[in-house]
């Protein structure tokens, strides 16, 4: 459903987030800021964007949520968009991904369509895809060491040289299974087309209220992906012994984990609000993954 009043009644603040090492942005960003300022937007750029252009206001990406932007413009690929979602989703920001020539499964709009997209947003002619996010906590000795959000997935995996790790999976406190595997993925519907898909997991439509639990190269032929409602609490008990394991969020935020640690995943309070104009989910699958072609 088109959403024209959700954010446009808020202060006209735009955050710009950019992918490093894209020379074309040295020309794109000054023109973009000028266009926005002429329409009375307040603009803030992250440090990555400011590397191309001395913007008037620079805010570290991790602090952009405090800027409370009504709109975030993400110039890059899916990795940049994942980072943006973690940074601004708590503030209810609408996120528009501008694809700079990569696969761009989440970044729908090409650079040539940037200004038509902005004009459509001003007219309220857009659709908001509300994408569930994961809130992941690392618990050690009863204390929570860290909590992060993820749009795609959380992954508990072995280090490059360690043997298979041992994980015990619980859903709402009920024991589900014990795994010896290279890793275990908890994916959102958005993340079901990422690492989980490559590990043999199913594709979920973005509006399905569920998570996918997918083992990576399990030592057991009966271990298969499991789909659970997104209202549950998922716990992974790590039994590594002397081996090393690793927790990563969206393949970007990571930390080592130890024997006896507990990784807890629940649905995050705030979803990522991705802007869409025309393509449906299955059209994107067909275009980007060559899936379902006749």
Residues annotated catalytic, as ranges: 78
What is the residue whose two structure tokens read 């993925």? 185
- Helix, strand or coil for residue 93? coil
Question: Rounded to whole angstroms, how far apart are CA atoms 133 and 266?
Answer: 9
If you ran DSSP here, which 8-state letter would residue 291 be given?
A: T
Name the H helices within 151-210.
Answer: 195-198
Contacts of 292 (CB under 8 A, 6+ apart): 282, 285, 286
Angle (CA) 219 223 224, round 5°: 135
Question: Rounded to whole angstroms, how far apart are CA atoms 17 and 84?
Answer: 7
Question: Rounded to whole angstroms, how far apart are CA atoms 67 and 37?
Answer: 16
For residue 138, the surrounding DSSP H or E stretch is strand 134-140
CB 233 within 8 A of CB 215: no
Question: Rounded to whole angstroms, how far apart are CA atoms 140 and 234?
Answer: 16
Task: Give the side-chain half-sphere CA count within 13 A for 234.
Answer: 31
Torsion sign over Cα 177, 182, 183, 187: negative
Q: What are phi and psi of 56, to 5 degrees?
A: -70, -35
């Amino acid at each position: 459903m088109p959403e024209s009043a959700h954010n446009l009644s808020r202060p006209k603040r735009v955050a710009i987030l950019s992918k490093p090492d894209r020379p074309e942005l040295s020309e794109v960003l000054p023109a973009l800021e000028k266009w926005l300022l002429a329409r009375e937007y307040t603009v803030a750029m992250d440090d990555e964007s400011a590397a191309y252009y001395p913007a008037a206001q620079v805010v570290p990406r991790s602090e952009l949520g405090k800027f409370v932007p009504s709109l975030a413009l993400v110039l890059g690929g899916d990795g940049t968009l994942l980072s943006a979602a973690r940074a601004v989703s708590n503030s209810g920001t609408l996120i528009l991904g501008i694809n700079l020539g990569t696969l761009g499964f989440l970044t729908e709009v090409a650079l040539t369509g940037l200004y038509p997209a902005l004009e459509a947003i001003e007219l309220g002619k857009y659709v908001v895809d509300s994408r569930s996010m994961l809130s992941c906590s690392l618990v050690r000795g009863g204390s929570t060491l860290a909590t992060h959000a993820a749009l795609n997935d959380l992954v508990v995996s072995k280090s490059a040289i360690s043997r298979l790790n041992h994980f015990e999976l619980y859903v709402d406190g009920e024991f589900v299974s014990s795994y010896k595997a290279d890793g275990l993925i908890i994916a959102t519907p958005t993340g079901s087309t990422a690492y989980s898909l490559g590990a043999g997991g199913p594709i979920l439509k973005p509006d399905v209220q569920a998570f996918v639990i997918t083992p990576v190269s399990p030592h057991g032929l009966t271990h298969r992906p499991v789909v659970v409602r997104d209202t549950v609490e998922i716990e992974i008990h790590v039994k590594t012994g002397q081996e090393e394991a690793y927790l990563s969020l969206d393949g970007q935020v990571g930390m080592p984990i130890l024997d006896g640690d507990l990784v807890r995943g629940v649905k995050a309070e705030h979803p990522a609000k991705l802007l869409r104009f025309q393509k449906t989910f299955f059209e994107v699958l067909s275009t980007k993954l060559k899936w379902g072609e006749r």
